[in-house]
A and B are shown apart, each in its own frame.
Chain A
Amino acid sequence: MSSTAWIILAVLACVAAWVVVTYNALVQKRNRIANAFGQIDVQLKRRYDLIPNLVEVARRYLAHEAQTLQAVASARGAAVDAAAAARARPADAAAVQGLAAAERVLGGSMGRLMAVVESYPELKADATMQSLAEELTSTENRIGFARQAYNDEVLAFNDAATQFPGNAVAGWFGMRPAAMLESTQGPQERQAPRVAF
Chain B
Amino acid sequence: MRFFERQDEARRETLRLVLLFAAAVAATVAGVHLALAACWLALSLLSPLALPFPRFFFTVNVGVTLLLILGGWWLEAASLRLPGAAQRLARRLGAREARPAVSADEQRLANIVDEICIAARMPRPEVMLMPRHQAINAFAAGWDVHDAVVAVTQGALEQLTREELQGLVAHECSHLHEGDTRLNMQLAGMVSGLELVWDFGATVRERGGVALLFGGAIMGMGAAGWYAGRLLQAAVSRQRELLADARAVQWTRSRDGLGGVLRKALTQRNEAQERPADPPLPGLVQHLLLLGPPAGKDGRLDAHPPLALRIERIYGRPMPPLPLPRPPAPVFHWA
Contacts and interface: CB of A to CB of B under 8 A. Distances in A.
Interface majority SS on B: helix, strand, loop or mixed? helix
A145 B104 contact: no
Contact of B115 (A127, A131, A142, A153): A142
B269 interface: no
B253 interface: yes
A134 B162 CA distance: 10
Interface string A129-144: 0110011011001100
Interface in A117-162: 127, 130-131, 134-135, 137-138, 141-142, 145-146, 148-149, 153
A167 interface: no
- Chain B's interface size range is 10 to 19
B251 interface: yes
B111 A135 contact: yes
Contact of B112 (A36, A127, A138): A138
Contacts of A141: 115, 166
Interface in B146-202: 162, 166
B119 interface: yes
Contact of A134 (B104, B166, B251, B253): B104
B118 A145 contact: yes
A127 B108 CA distance: 14
B114 interface: yes
A191 interface: no
Interface majority SS on A: helix, strand, loop or mixed? helix
A142 B124 CA distance: 13
B119 A149 contact: yes
Contacts of A135: 111
B118 A146 contact: yes
Interface of A: 36, 39, 43, 127, 130-131, 134-135, 137-138, 141-142, 145-146, 148-149, 153
Interface of B: 104, 107-108, 111-112, 114-116, 118-121, 162, 166, 251, 253
Given A134-B104, A134-B108, A145-B118, 16 more contacts: A127-B104, A137-B111, A138-B111, A138-B112, A141-B115, A141-B166, A142-B114, A142-B115, A142-B118, A145-B116, A145-B119, A145-B251, A148-B119, A148-B251, A148-B253, A149-B119
